[in-house]
């Protein structure tokens, strides 16, 4: 650990790997990870739907675990690996999960979709064949106001079979 | 377990053996999905401009207070602050927004920022613009506002009482609008009836659909042309401009609205004009692009709730056989601090005056008042949902009190399949439907015949089981002439929507819509309709994403609201495409030396019917007209760029009788649900649920079903936890998603869906608008709870939202809820 | 959504963290941040310095002692507990952690953060009191242990004072435990929760959400009526809010206490 770690600073240069690309930026200590992604890196795929950490629209994978990027400071992510919705598809080639979302009409306005995909991706990596209850529990932290979750659950289930 | 079930063997009522042809009716992949799945959609907050400033509003901490002074000097001293705006400046630079009501509502002055007084907690009092979002908020905290708090008005029922605080002194009253609607012969019905059931008071709670994306805009001002461009998520820009331009004292073309992807609207993004005007003034004042992003707490406290409504002194005349003859009610509607879209809610309910029923004698005394709460705006099911909840509560309360079967009593009172088109007592024409059939399908899906066994099983587990039905209408395609019933001076009537379809130089088919979609899949369904007419694939049709008033593709009523795209939007697409098809045939006939009637469009070609080998690809047609047109006849009247305005067939209503056809189509939904209540705690669970939909011809069944799912989930939320209650000081008690609980994936019951298709005789595609669902889930859950508790003193469910604590209260003191019920029989 | 200005430090040892916490007035430890960051977003709290504990590996252990004691480092996340074979020695720990919020929060939120924030609606304060846990608190001058029952001193206040850090939580061996809650939506915020255990000598019932700190009841016996009457006799004065009246909370406390004790009884053998 660098010596400067022991000093409290108002802003700091951080290095974060996002979707395989390393970014180095100076950020204010108070900056949330979601604002770092959206405003500093222009990765606007992750969204913001609340201000209390309830909606999950900002969900990203953080060192492999799904987290809400509005409940973390960007400085905390120094040295971490982050995956966002922009990193899922291989170029224009959608993942099976993304294709399943469109086949099952699992998105309407699409605003919750990036966070939903990240939660589902984390689930399927850990548990390729989840039960319906496990699917629901895995996306419980992602609110959707359009679909009633019916087709989202279906889409995840279909890709896991 | 979730089961998505497509209902019973013969789903189609109108034409059982209708052959499936063409793209309409198929679940083609949505054009919108690819970008949205990759995080490549463009929502307003994704748009950035060089040097832009961020807007933060200073908001009132008081529900009601005089503003003595606003001092922005400390905020302006902070490094990185670009400027501010106060109510005093707004009062000089703008006029109050135009009001729809007659007095007293007409005299209520509404500006972009509070002028002189704050009237609800969260009302914007000043605005600050700074280089970053954080700095703007820091600076906003430095603005010093000197308030003189006044007593707040938080209960609509006392708004007219002598001592009630007056919100708008200019109006001299808290009443926005009041009027009596009287159809048939209510007194006669009472005299004729065997029983009259009286219900003292019912309460429809405040809530909203809370779209996951909050509101906002990025505004640029062009000093050279005096024009503002708003990259935003306004869902009804045509009407937004009608409010904004006169207030800002500019022509309507000075306001350019641009949207692409919108994260849900549900009506809650219709009344954004005060915020947008403040942003426009700031962009001009600071000569800089400014962006306002609303946060969740802002949306809950200070944007748009659904209308709260009290129903009082309800009387229902009923015959011994269960036939209901109508009802009488006094409705008190609480629209919050400013009318804005109101008082339209005072008439919109009349689209569904008798609900699904053959009731002929109806009297409604309707009063709308202001209170020191967030203003309201249309909210999915706008105004009809409240009224339909009343009709369904009437059915279930009367049935319970008179010992009637809720299924039979519905069927007995429903408008019958053979009676369509059916004229309601106030002149609305229900186009088509079969409510009894929908009910049967719904009951089948929840296993209604084995209900008694299920009750016994639940009891053995210590639970109380209840079943509830919600039958509702989703009226679509407004006749805006209904606004004249409220205010005869208003110059609004009918409805319209626009589309342009062109064949471009390389043969591309390009469609521009006047609508402002927020997830309804307009790009996809428009392409289906175009492809069917032009004989190509939806993949060949490019539908521009979003809305831009620069495209000239909108009209006065353009927008995405009130369940109408399948009628107005697709009607316009069909009209424009028919025009284009005619022009393509005409051009082809000139080139190929025949008559237009000899030409057909198929396989991406204009070809001779008699000899399909003789054909011009669309590309050739586009290229000939656009780039290689020498030698074409001078009188060839072809542009290959067709704009069509669809106008539904409406007359102005009879203002005296408050009578006329207020909407073109009536989709219907019947829901049935099963709840299990834990009598020890009041905690309950929805254990089975079915929603059956009839919206006429379905262009894209998957999209229709998605709308049914979504409307159901929102209704279940509103029935169980979602409510916006205020304390006595006017503070909202559920200002964010922490306290305002939205159903998540574990909360949702298994949803089963079914459908029938009763083609509308009145619309271009036989389709009906749908999507709002009429709040059927609220009605069904309320009924199911009441049914579950009937062995516990038969409490009456009097509120639309029933969180656990309310159910517990009903269990504790059933008599209290019954105090307002009275039956007189002869 | 936008935090007040704050300074940030990321120590690499507990010693260093304690130095920072005493060096800066207004410094607060940042554990998983699932409460603190939210509170800062609302600007309801504005610490001057955040001392990020994420690199303190010494606080991330889960150990199972020979006597069956489970020791959780303060920076152990809920997900860590759920997935840990050692923590499973006291099964209720993982079961309750699995009911907290959602996957995202469980992946970041820590046991130490949950109890140090001592939000009256949190799950772990009543549970750890019922289980007879012991908290180890370290300060620059040394270390002390505090029984869970004395750890919670007020709303958002615990025995871990300024300049101190909760380092570990030790839970004695046992299995006859119960937990019952009424929440806002499934696995949501608790309206009332009750934890019970029969393993600590005399039966212990602890009620959450009804006061600033968990309310401990020792009914003397695990008889359901005795438990109910202990709750009634406790003269609870719970708050009224939008989710529940005081009366309703009082009532739920009694019903849930009975359910928690029943669950505990079912696990005795």
Q: Please check whether residue C186 touches B, CB under 8 A.
A: yes
A2 has a pLDDT exceeding 80? no
Flag if B137 and C184 touch (Cβ within 8 Å): no
Q: Which CATH number fits domain A96-159: 3.40.50.720, 3.40.50.300, 1.10.3720.10, 1.10.150.120?
A: 1.10.150.120
B371-428 pLDDT, tens per residue?
999 999 999 999 999 999 999 999 999 999 999 999 999 999 999 999 999 999 999 9
Residue B14 has a pLDDT of 34
In this prediction, residue B1 has a pLDDT band, given cuts at 50, 70 and 90, of: very low
How confident is the model over B36-60, as a mean pLDDT?
Answer: 98
Flag if B706 and A137 touch (Cβ within 8 Å): no
CA distance C122 to chain B (A): 14
Across the interface, which of A12, A30, A67 has its CB nearest the CB of C104? A67
Site from A43, A61, A145 to mutate, B interface, most B CB atoms within 10 angstroms: A145
Partners of chain C (3+ Cβ pairs below 8 A):
A, B
Flag if C242 and B734 touch (Cβ within 8 Å): yes
**Which residues of chain C from 226 to 265 reach within 8 Å of chain B, CB to CB?**
241-245, 248, 251-252, 255-256
Q: Where on the phi/psi map is residue B427: left (φ > 0), alpha (ψ -120 to 50), or beta?
A: left
Residue B562 has a pLDDT of 85
How confident is the model over B62-80, as a mean pLDDT?
Answer: 98
Residue B7 has a pLDDT of 41
Task: Please report, for residues B197, B364, B413, the alpha-carbon distance to residue B391 in angstroms, rounded to integers and kept in the order given.
Answer: 13, 12, 11
DSSP string covering B440-508, please? HHHHHHTTGGGHHHHHHHHHHTT-EEEEEEEEEEEEEEE-GGGHHHH-TT----S--EEEEEEE-TTS-
Contacts of A141 in chain C (CB under 8 A): 101-105
Residues lower than pLDDT 50 in chain C: none
B750 has a pLDDT exceeding 90? no
Residue B20 has a pLDDT of 54
- Token pair, residue B505, equals 């130089």
Contact C26, A8 (CB under 8 A): no
- Longest Cα pair distance anywhere in chain C, in angstroms? 54
Q: In terms of CA atoms, which chain A residue is nearest residue C4?
A: A30
What percent of chain A has a predicted confidence (pLDDT) above 90?
94
Contacts of C185 in chain B (CB under 8 A): 721, 741, 743-744, 746-747
Residue B774 has a pLDDT of 86
Q: Please check whether residue C192 touches A, CB under 8 A.
A: no
Q: Please check whether residue A4 touches C, CB under 8 A.
A: no
Q: What is the mean pLDDT of chain B?
A: 95
A63 has a pLDDT exceeding 80? yes
CA distance C83 to chain B (A): 21
* Pure H helices in B179-335: 186-192, 237-248, 273-286, 296-302
Place of tokens 């989202």: A152
B18 has a pLDDT exceeding 60? no
Q: In angstroms, rounded to a whole number, what is the distance separating the alpha carbons of residues B534 and B614? A: 17
Q: Please check whether residue C98 touches B, CB under 8 A.
A: no
Contact B469, B543 (CB under 8 A): no
Residue C73 has a pLDDT of 98
Flag if C50 and A6 touch (Cβ within 8 Å): no
Flag if C242 and B738 touch (Cβ within 8 Å): no
Q: In angstroms, rounded to a whole number, what is the distance separating the alpha carbons of residues B71 and B89? A: 13
B24 has a pLDDT exceeding 80? yes
Residue B11 has a pLDDT of 31
B161-195 pLDDT, tens per residue?
999 999 999 999 999 999 999 999 999 999 999 99
Contact B756, B441 (CB under 8 A): yes
Residue B487 has a pLDDT of 97
Contacts of B805 in chain C (CB under 8 A): 243-245, 248
DSSP-derived pairing of the beta strands B605-608 and B599-602:
antiparallel
Of B208, B210, B217, B263, residue with least CA distance to B237: B217
For residue C162, give the 3-state DSSP assignment.
Answer: coil
CA distance B213 to chain A (A): 5
- Token pair, residue C229, equals 């009457």
Contact C236, C120 (CB under 8 A): no
How confident is the model over A148-157, as a mean pLDDT?
Answer: 98
Contacts of C31 in chain A (CB under 8 A): none
B8 has a pLDDT exceeding 50? no
Question: Which residues are C147's β-sheet partners?
Answer: C134
Structural domains for chain C: 7-52 (3.30.43.10), 57-171 (3.30.465.10), 177-266 (3.30.390.50)
B274-297 pLDDT, tens per residue?
999 999 999 999 999 999 999 999
Residue B21 has a pLDDT of 73
Output DSSP code: residue B789: G
CA distance A107 to chain C (A): 21
Query: What was the ipTM of the complex prediction?
Result: 0.97
DSSP string covering B297-319, please? HHHHHHT-BPPEEEEEEEEEEE-
What percent of chain B has a predicted confidence (pLDDT) above 90?
95
B114-167 pLDDT, tens per residue?
999 999 999 999 999 999 999 999 999 999 999 999 999 999 999 999 999 999
Spatial neighbors of B627 by CB under 8 A, at least 6 apart, are B505
Q: Please check whether residue C1 touches B, CB under 8 A.
A: yes
In this prediction, residue A92 has a pLDDT band, given cuts at 50, 70 and 90, of: confident
Output DSSP code: residue B750: P
Spatial neighbors of B101 by CB under 8 A, at least 6 apart, are B108, B176, B177, B339, B342, B343, B486, B487
Structural domains for chain B: 44-152+215-293 (3.90.1170.50), 183-208+304-481+652-724+731-815 (3.30.365.10), 496-543+559-646 (3.30.365.10)
**Which residues of chain B from 788 to 817 reach within 8 Å of chain C, CB to CB?**
803-805, 808-809
In this prediction, residue B5 has a pLDDT band, given cuts at 50, 70 and 90, of: very low
Q: Please check whether residue C156 touches A, CB under 8 A.
A: no
Across the interface, which of B138, B681, B746 has its CB nearest the CB of C252? B681
Q: In angstroms, rounded to a whole number, what is the distance separating the alpha carbons of residues B44 and B32? A: 16
Q: In angstroms, rounded to a whole number, what is the distance separating the alpha carbons of residues C37 and C17? A: 19
CATH 3.10.20.30 for the A9-87 domain, yes or no = yes
Site from B136, B804, B813 to mutate, C interface, most C CB atoms within 10 angstroms: B804
Partners of chain A (3+ Cβ pairs below 8 A):
B, C
C229-262 pLDDT, tens per residue?
999 999 999 999 999 999 999 999 999 999 999 9
Of B523, B517, B33, B544, residue with least CA distance to A110: B33
User: So where are chain A's domains?
Assistant: 9-87, 96-159
């Amino acid at each position: 650990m660098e010596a400067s770690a022991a000093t409290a600073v108002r802003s700091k240069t951080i290095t974060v790997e996002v979707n395989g690309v390393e970014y180095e930026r100076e950020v204010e200590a108070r900056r949330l990870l979601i604002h770092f992604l959206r405003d500093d890196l222009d990765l606007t795929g992750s969204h913001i739907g609340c201000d209390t950490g309830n909606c999950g629209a900002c969900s990203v994978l953080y060192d492999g675990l799904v987290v809400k990027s509005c409940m973390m400071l960007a400085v905390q992510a120094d040295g971490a690996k982050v995956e966002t919705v922009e990193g899922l598809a291989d170029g224009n080639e959608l993942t099976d999960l993304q294709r399943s979302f469109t086949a099952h009409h699992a998105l309407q306005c699409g605003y919750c979709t990036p966070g939903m995909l990240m939660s589902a991706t984390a689930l399927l990596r850990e548990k390729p064949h989840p039960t319906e209850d496990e699917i629901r529990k895995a996306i419980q932290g992602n609110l959707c106001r359009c679909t009633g979750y019916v087709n989202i659950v279906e889409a995840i289930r279909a890709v896991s079979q | 377990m979730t089961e998505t079930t497509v209902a019973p063997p013969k789903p189609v009522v109108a034409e059982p053996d209708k052959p499936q042809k063409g793209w309409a009716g198929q679940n083609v992949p949505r054009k919108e999905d690819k970008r949205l799945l990759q995080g490549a959609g463009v929502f307003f907050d994704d748009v950035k401009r060089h040097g832009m400033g961020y807007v933060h509003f200073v908001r009132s901490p008081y529900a009601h207070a005089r503003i003595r002074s606003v001092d922005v000097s400390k905020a302006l001293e902070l490094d990185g602050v670009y400027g501010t705006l106060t109510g005093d400046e707004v009062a000089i630079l703008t006029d109050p927004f135009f009001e729809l009501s007659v007095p007293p509502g007409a005299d209520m002055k509404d500006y972009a920022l509070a002028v002189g007084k704050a009237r609800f907690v969260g009302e914007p009092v000043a605005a600050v613009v700074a280089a970053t979002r954080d700095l703007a908020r820091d600076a906003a905290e430095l603005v010093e506002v000197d308030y003189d708090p006044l007593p707040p008005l938080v209960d609509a029922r006392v708004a007219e009482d002598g001592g009630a605080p007056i919100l708008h002194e200019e109006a001299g009253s808290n009443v926005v609008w009041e009027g009596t609607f009287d159809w048939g012969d209510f007194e006669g019905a009472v005299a004729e009836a065997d029983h009259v059931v009286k219900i003292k008071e019912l309460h429809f709670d405040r809530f909203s659909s809370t779209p996951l994306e909050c509101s906002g805009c990025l505004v640029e001002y062009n000093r050279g042309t005096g024009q503002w461009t708003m990259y935003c998520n306004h869902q009804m820009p045509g009407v937004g401009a009608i409010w904004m331009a006169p207030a800002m004292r500019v022509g309507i073309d000075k306001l350019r609205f641009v949207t692409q992807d919108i994260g849900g609207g549900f009506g809650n993004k219709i009344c954004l004009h005060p915020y947008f005007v403040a942003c426009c003034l700031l962009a001009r004042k600071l000569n800089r692009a400014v962006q306002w992003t609303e946060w969740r707490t802002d949306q809950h406290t200070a944007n748009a709730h659904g209308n709260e409504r009290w129903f009082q002194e309800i009387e229902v005349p009923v015959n011994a056989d269960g036939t209901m003859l109508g009802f009488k009610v006094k409705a008190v509607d609480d629209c919050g601090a400013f009318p804005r879209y109101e008082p339209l809610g005072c008439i919109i309910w009349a689209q569904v005056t008798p609900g699904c029923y053959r009731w002929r004698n109806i009297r409604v005394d309707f009063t709308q008042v202001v209170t020191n709460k967030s203003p309201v705006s249309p909210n999915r099911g706008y105004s009809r949902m409240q009224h339909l909840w009343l009709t369904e509560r009437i059915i279930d309360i009367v049935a319970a009190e008179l010992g009637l079967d809720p299924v039979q009593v519905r069927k007995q009172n429903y408008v019958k399949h053979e009676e369509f088109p059916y004229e309601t007592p106030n002149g609305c024409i229900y186009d088509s439907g079969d409510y009894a059939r929908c009910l049967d399908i719904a009951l089948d899906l929840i296993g209604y015949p084995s209900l008694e066994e299920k009750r016994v099983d639940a009891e053995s587990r210590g639970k109380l089981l209840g079943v509830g039905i919600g039958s509702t209408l989703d009226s679509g395609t407004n006749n805006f002439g209904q606004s004249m019933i409220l205010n005869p001076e208003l110059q609004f009537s009918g409805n319209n929507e626009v589309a342009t379809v062109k064949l471009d130089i390389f043969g591309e088919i390009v469609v521009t819509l006047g609508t402002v979609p927020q997830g309804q899949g307009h790009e996809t369904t428009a392409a289906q309709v175009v492809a069917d007419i032009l004989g190509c694939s939806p993949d060949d049709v490019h539908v521009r994403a979003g809305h831009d008033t620069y495209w000239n593709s909108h009209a006065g009523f353009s927008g995405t609201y009130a369940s109408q795209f399948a009628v107005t939007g697709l009607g316009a697409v069909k009209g424009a495409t028919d025009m284009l098809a005619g022009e393509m045939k005409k051009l082809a006939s000139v080139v190929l030396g025949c008559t237009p009637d000899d030409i057909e469009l198929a396989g991406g070609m204009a070809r001779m019917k008699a000899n399909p080998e003789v054909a011009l690809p669309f590309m050739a047609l586009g290229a000939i007209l656009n780039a290689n047109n020498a030698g074409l006849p001078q009188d060839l009247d072809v542009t290959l760029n067709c704009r069509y305005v669809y106008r539904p067939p409406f007359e102005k209503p009879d203002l005296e009788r408050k009578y006329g056809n207020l909407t073109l189509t009536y989709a219907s939904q019947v829901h049935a649900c099963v709840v299990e209540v834990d009598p020890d705690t009041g905690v309950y669970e929805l254990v089975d649920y079915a929603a059956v939909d009839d919206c006429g011809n379905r262009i894209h069944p998957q999209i229709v079903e998605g709308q049914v799912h979504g409307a159901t989930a929102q209704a279940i939320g509103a029935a169980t936890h979602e409510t916006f209650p205020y304390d006595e000081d006017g503070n909202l008690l559920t200002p964010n998603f922490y306290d305002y609980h939205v159903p998540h994936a574990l909360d949702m019951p298994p949803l089963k869906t079914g459908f029938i298709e009763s083609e509308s005789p009145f619309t271009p595609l036989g389709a009906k608008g749908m999507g709002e669902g009429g709040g059927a889930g609220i009605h069904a859950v309320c009924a199911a709870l009441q049914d579950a508790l009937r062995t516990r003193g038969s409490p009456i469910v009097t509120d639309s939202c029933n969180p656990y604590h309310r159910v517990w209260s009903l269990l504790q003191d059933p008599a209290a809820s019954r105090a307002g019920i009275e039956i007189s029989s002869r | 959504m936008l935090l007040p200005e704050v300074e940030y430090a990321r120590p690499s040892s507990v010693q260093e963290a304690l130095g920072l916490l005493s060096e800066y007035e207004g410094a607060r430890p940042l554990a998983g941040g699932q409460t603190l960051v939210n509170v800062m977003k609302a600007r309801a709290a504005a610490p001057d310095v955040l001392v990020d504990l994420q690199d303190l590996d010494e606080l991330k252990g889960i150990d199972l002692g020979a006597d069956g004691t489970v020791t959780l480092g303060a920076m152990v996340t809920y997900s860590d507990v759920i997935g840990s074979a050692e923590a499973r020695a006291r099964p209720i720990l993982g079961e309750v952690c699995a009911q907290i919020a959602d996957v995202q929060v469980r992946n970041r939120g820590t046991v130490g953060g949950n109890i140090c924030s001592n939000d009256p609606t949190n799950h772990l304060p009543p549970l750890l009191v019922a289980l007879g846990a012991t908290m180890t608190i370290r300060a620059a001058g040394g270390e002390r242990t505090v029984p869970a029952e004395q750890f919670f001193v007020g709303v958002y206040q615990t025995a871990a004072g300024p300049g101190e850090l909760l380092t570990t939580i030790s839970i004695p061996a046992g299995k006859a435990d119960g937990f019952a809650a009424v929440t806002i939506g499934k696995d949501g915020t608790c309206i009332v929760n009750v934890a019970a255990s029969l393993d600590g000598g005399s039966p212990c019932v602890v009620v959450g959400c009804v006061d600033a700190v968990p309310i401990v009841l020792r009914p003397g016996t695990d008889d359901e009526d005795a438990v109910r009457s202990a709750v009634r006799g406790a003269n609870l004065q719970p708050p009224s809010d939008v989710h529940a009246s005081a009366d309703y909370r009082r009532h739920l406390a009694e019903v849930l206490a009975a359910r928690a004790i029943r669950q505990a009884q079912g696990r005795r053998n």
